[in-house]
Structure 1
Amino acid sequence: MAALPSFRPQLIDSLRHYNRALFRQDLMAGLTVGIVALPLAMAFAIASGVPPQAGIFTAVIAGFLASLLGGTKLCVTGPTGAFIVIIYGIVMKYGVANLIICTFMAGAMLVLMGLLRLGQVIKFFPMPLITGFTNGIAVLIFLTQLKDFFGLPVAQMPAGFFAVIDTLRQQLPLFDPLTLVISIASLLLILLWPKRFNSRLPGPFVALVLATLTVSLFQLPLETIGSKFGGIPQGLPAFTGLDVDLEHLSDLLGPAFTIALLGAIESLLCAVVADSLTGDKHDANQELIAQGIANMVVPFFGGIPATGAIARTATNIGNGGKTPVAGIVHALLLLLVILVAAPLAAYIPLAALAAILIAVALKMGDWDIRKAALFPKQDTAILIVTFALTVIFDLTIAVEIGLLMAAVLFIRRMAASTSVQQLRPEHAQLFERHSIAGKSVPAGCVAYRVEGALFFGAADTIDQLASQPSTVRVVILQLHRLVMLDTTGLLALSTLNQRLQEQDRTLILCGAGNEVTSMLRNARLAHEMGVGNIQPDLTTALQRAEEVLTSGVVWG
């Protein structure tokens, strides 16, 4: 049994040589990220069907804990757009109280993933699958924000793609022109804001401030955080316990697993992006444990699910952040906003927050359809199916079916690439030890080579070797191009050996790598065949064949 991963946050190593210069860089980067995170945290919370303070509390608590305990230096954690559709669906179906329980359960699952060393889970999700559900989530975010973007007279948008489309179809003619003007102006400012200013004064923050000042100074009759939620409470979030309904707890396992799965994917993707920008190397298992702890704590303070945020992480790196201290500074700045400036949030128009989220949705998706032409058709099919299922049904179904499609198509590809070829003198010489060139196969012997993977999807490719002409007494099977061997493949080799022995024939395996050779020995196949019939290369295998043909020994 593998040992549990060591608990060693990146902050420990970062503080070893910490100094004032590093702190100045972390301070400026953390303040900038905090300014970026403020409007996003509120917008994500409102779009998820919870009060805006839930988003800020989450950014403070989860952002602080993930930076304190995480396995990356510069990833910033908080509520993200990817969770909006999932959280909204849970709130509509199960209520906020059960969302809090789902968040805690998801956190426990993330901790367990880290302890079980599942930090490389991201490798099991092909990019077409990730692109498909990311684009699907972006479309859903876009659709759900049209209510506040147009100022539609709808109390709350329904959950479900078709219900949303039907509501928009009925209500769009009733849009509010004034709200639409503020929304469009805010969106254009965000999208057209010069990149050179973004590092110090982010576009979303500028749009939020200008829209708020405009609505307040001219007393425009637009819906605001104050009119809808009564503002944001000033002060620290109150600690509350979890109201667990054991009778219906099993119903929450599916939603909780969805949160945990998406949280793991988003966090590890964020860590990979951070590594690519900085050249660092993250500890995936430590990051999962930290994200899990953060998600287990935030529910007690009215928070929502959190994960690594790629945009905020890129902002952190782009503004000179060097250590996890930058993420801690970002969380402390948001805490200061709650303690000092919370009453001002009541004047923020929902139209500006909708514009911010629509900008997030537009930037979140990968809309370059020309890339699809570069994909194999099978990968394009995975992308399209995952995208459609995410939009029409939900992320859980999309990921399950997308992964199933990817697995089946991968198995088909691997099986199609596996072949058994008879070695002939005219074959070109590739490696002297393994090439047939310059060697002679004695009469009564035939040699084959396996190429590709010998696994459950392709194990039957060697069945044909059991049928040989009556003159053949020795079959050599070359394994130096075998890229993978699983239990089914081992059983197929064992069956082939038994069938040949029943015919008084000998099977000789040669050229296997260290890992395959170890599998043959651990599975006792080497004992069944006889140690003399496992050879390191083709030359020694041919010598062994001559011995068998001369002596008449089949096994040994």
Structure 2
Amino acid sequence: MKQFLTGASAMLPNRSDYAGLGRTWRSDVVAGITVGIVALPLALAFGVSSGVGAEAGLVTAIVAGIVAAVFGGSNVQVSGPTGAMVVVLGPVVAAHGAGAVVIVAVLAGIVVCVAGVLRLGRTVTYIPWPVIEGFTAGIGVIIFLQQVPTALGVGPSGHHSTNAGVAAAQSVSQARWPGVLVPLAVVAAVAIVMGLAARLAPKAPASFIAIVVVSVAAIAFDLPLATIGELPQSLPAPQLPAVNLHMISSLAGPVFAVAALAAIESLLSARVASSMSDTGPYNADRELVGQGLASVFSGIFGGMPATGAIARTAVNVRSGARTRLAAVVHALGLVAVVYLAAPLVSRIPLAALAGVLMVTACRMIEISVIRQVLGATRSAALVFGVTAIVTVGFDLIVAVAIGVAVAAFFALRALSRTCGVRREEIPGPARSGDERIAIFRLDGSLFFGVADRVMQRVADHGGVDIVILRLSHLQHVDATGAHTLAEIVQALERAGVTVFIKGIRPGHLQVMTRVGALDALRHPNHLFDDLEAAVAAARGHLVHTG
């Protein structure tokens, strides 16, 4: 009970979350303002791109940003709407309408909270690096393709497919020239300004600068561009969504997909943040609870599901954030935008937001990292390629599952190859009949696929009547390996070869006993701790049997 209470208290906000705040509050405030400026255009763009509107993106950044900062497991994590979540929500909006996103946010948040309570936070560490990079690259491609209709000035009615690639192709075929030149010029201008800002002032909020420059120009020249439209000048009142069993069953797939994505992305972001700063380790389980609560409250206020945002978290760390105050300030800054600058924000061209997301998508696809993955091993390259292709063509969560499965296949194959099987000479002076005794030493891991290898080695040395299996050099034996040993013994005994086993490690003895590996021996006395005793017994057996 005491251990349970200790673990539960570790997942609740406490004073240590703000240790050193008296020394760091100035840098935290500066970092929070900086991240808020960076987050504004992204929150608006992700809200528009997902189909739920700029208001929902802004609400998500505010509500989820505060809740995750207070209840999450990282001291510097910044949460809000992300590109990966937009990729999942787009088809949900197309199939069920924008109202379904609120329900998905609340239900998925509950699922993520439960995962944290069940202490599933560390499972993300089992996702291989090539899977993560393939997943990230695939998301980058999808985000870019999702912006093509807006960049061409094609409204939502101009494309119908939920597949980003198909929708982009439809938009190209339906674009009206030369009218598309205006939104394309805006996208190009945003890309140029962001590129120049990044080069000339790396610490400046490039996306914010680009949005301001392009929006001012669009207003000054009265360009024919679609804009964000009217935004509320206050936060919406909290309201629980109406839910029934039919709706829950129809949204079950999206709910679990969103929950899995939120957990994966948030934990990856928290892990990256922990490696970037010395603000202390993150609590993975508490992070899940915090992110789950963030999505629940975001949905209650009319927002969308939230996750930890790697890009904004990185900006937060680089700007000097030391405590959770920075993420809270970031959210409060966005609140100020809602109450003080909503009329100005409403005039931002949608094409400008599309340009920001296109540049963001391109930055997600890091050519240097892709080269590292492709140049590492063939298996890593294949895992990367499969994950990226499935992400773009089918489904994000399925892509991660398939990527992990492919990586696991190669890992298991490599593990099975660590089991070496080699024949050794009988120690001491040779005696008559020794040619009928074979000693085989098994090294590494006893894994499936080894039985055929051992049997083949024995077959390659015909005329053997007794086989001594030396197991003292085995490093790993699981239930499958122990069962494999039983199959080896049984196969040899059926072939008329007597089997002696030498040197089972104490740590392996229990599993071998439980699966019946030792019962496969012809006699209990055929189990030895010493090689000399095993050889003596084998010689005696030959004499006895003639």
- Normalised-by-shorter TM-score class: 0.7 to 0.9
- Counterpart for residue 375 of structure 1: 376
Is 1:246 the counterpart of 2:245? The answer is yes
Count of residues in correspondence between the two structures: 529
CA shift, 1:327, in A, is: 1.4
Distance in structure 2 (CA, Å) of the matches to 1:33 and 1:541: 67
Once the two structures are TM-superposed, the CA of residue 51 in structure 1 deviates from its matched residue by 1.3
Q: Does 1:485 align with 2:477?
A: yes
Is 2:469 aligned against 1:476? yes
Secondary structure at the counterpart of residue 476 of structure 1: strand
Q: In the TM superposition, what are the counterparts of 1:442-457 in structure 2 within 5 Å? A: 443=434, 446-456=438-448
**In structure 2, what is the equivalent of residue 44 of structure 1?**
46
CA distance in 2 between counterparts of 1:486 and 1:196 reads: 58
Q: Which whole-Å deviations, capped at 9, do the CAs of 1:451-490 have from their partners, x for residues lacking one? A: 34323454554455887877654613224243x4322211
Q: How does 1:37-116 map to 2 (within 5 A)?
A: 37-116=39-118
Q: Deviations over 1:60-100 (max 9, x none)?
A: 12111211122222111111111222111110012222222
**Amino acid corresponding to residue 291 of structure 1 in structure 2:** Q
The answer to whether residue 180 in structure 2 is matched with residue 176 in structure 1 is: yes
Matched residue type, 1:220: L
State the distance in 1 between where 2:18 and 2:372 align. 44
Say whether 1:545 aligns with 2:534.
yes
Shift of residue 184 of structure 1? 1.6
Classify the secondary structure of the residue corresponding to 2:439: strand
- Contact 1:27 1:326 survives alignment (8 Å): yes
> Which 10-residue stretch deviates more, 80-89 or 380-389?
380-389
Alignment match, 1:363: 363
Q: CA deviation at 1:552?
A: 6.2
CA shift, 1:294, in A, is 1.6
CA root-mean-square deviation: 3.3
What is the alpha-carbon distance in structure 2 between the residues aligned to residue 31 and residue 40 of structure 1?
Answer: 15
Whether the 8 Å contact between 1:445 and 1:476 is mirrored in structure 2 is: no
Cα displacement (A) at 1:362: 0.8
Residue of structure 1 in register with 2:170 after alignment: 166
Q: Identify if the C-alpha distance between structure 1 residues 445 and 152 changes in structure 2 by more than 3 Å, giving closer, same or farther.
A: same
**2:153, 2:180 within 8 Å by CA — same for their partners in 1?**
yes
Counting only pairs closer than 5 Å after superposition, residues 336-355 of structure 1 correspond to structure 2 as 336-355=336-355
What is the CA–CA distance in structure 2 between the aligned matches of 1:487 and 1:62, rounded to whole Å?
Answer: 45
Output one character per residue of 1:216-275: Cα deviation in whole Å (capped at 9) or x when no partner: 34433321112xxxx211112221222223124333222222212222221122122112
TM-aligned CA deviation for residue 208 of structure 1: 1.6
Deviations 1:174-233 (A, max 9, x none): 54333333322222111221457343x30111112222222334433321112xxxx211
> Using a 3 Å threshold, how does the CA distance of structure 1 residues 114 and 462 change in structure 2: closer, same or farther?
farther
Aligned counterpart for 2:190 among listed residues 186, 194, 204: 186
Structure 1 window deviating more from structure 2 (165-174 vs 68-77): it is 165-174
* Uncovered stretches (5+) of structure 2, i.e. residues with no partner: none
Instruction: Tell me the residue number matched to 1:315.
Output: 315
Give the whole-Å Cα distance in 1 for the aligned partners of 2:497 and 2:525: 16
Amino acid at match of 1:89: P
Which sits farther off after the overlay, 176-185 or 462-471? Answer: 462-471
Distance 2:423 2:271 in 1: 44
Say if 1:449 and 1:70 are closer, same or farther in 2 by CA, change over 3 A.
farther
**Letter aligned with residue 278 of structure 1:** S
SS of residue in 2 equivalent to 1:54:
helix
Match of 1:88, SS state, is: helix
Q: Which residue of 2 aligns with 1:387?
A: 388
Stretch moving more, 328-337 or 33-42: 328-337
CA contact (8 A) 2:18 2:324 kept: no
Instruction: Return closer, same or farther for 1:56/1:528 CA change in 2, 3 Å cut-off.
Output: same
Q: Counterpart of 1:118?
A: 120
Q: Secondary structure at the match of 1:241?
A: coil
Change beyond 3 A, Cα 1:509–1:107:
farther
TM score, norm. by length of structure 2: 0.86
User: Conserved in 1, the CA contact under 8 Å of 2:44 and 2:54?
Assistant: yes
Change beyond 3 A, Cα 1:282–1:233? same
SS in 2 for 1:507: strand
Secondary structure of the 1:421 match is: strand
Q: Distance in 2 between matches of 1:407 and 1:266?
A: 21
Measure the CA separation in 1 of the matches of 2:233 and 2:332: 15
Output the CA distance in 2 between the equivalents of 1:54 and 1:466. 69
Change (3 A) 1:460 1:173: farther
Please report how far the alpha carbon of residue 162 of structure 1 lies from its aligned counterpart in structure 2 after TM superposition. 2.0
Matches within 5 A, 1:506-545: 506-510=499-503, 512=505, 515-517=507-509, 519-520=511-512, 541-545=530-534
Amino acid at match of 2:277: T
Counterpart Cα distance in 2 of 1:153 and 1:310: 30
**Residues 419, 546 of structure 1: CA spacing in aligned structure 2 closer, same or farther, 3 A cutoff?**
closer
> Once the 2 structures are TM-superposed, how far is the Cα of residue 546 of structure 1 from its aligned partner?
4.8
- 2:486–2:516 Cα contact (<8 Å) kept: no
Which of 11, 34, 37 is the matching residue for 1:35?
Answer: 37
- Provide the identity percentage: 34
Question: Are positions 1:325 and 2:325 aligned together?
Answer: yes
Change (3 A) 1:344 1:534: farther
**Alpha-carbon distance in structure 2 between the residues aligned to 1:172 and 1:450:** 71
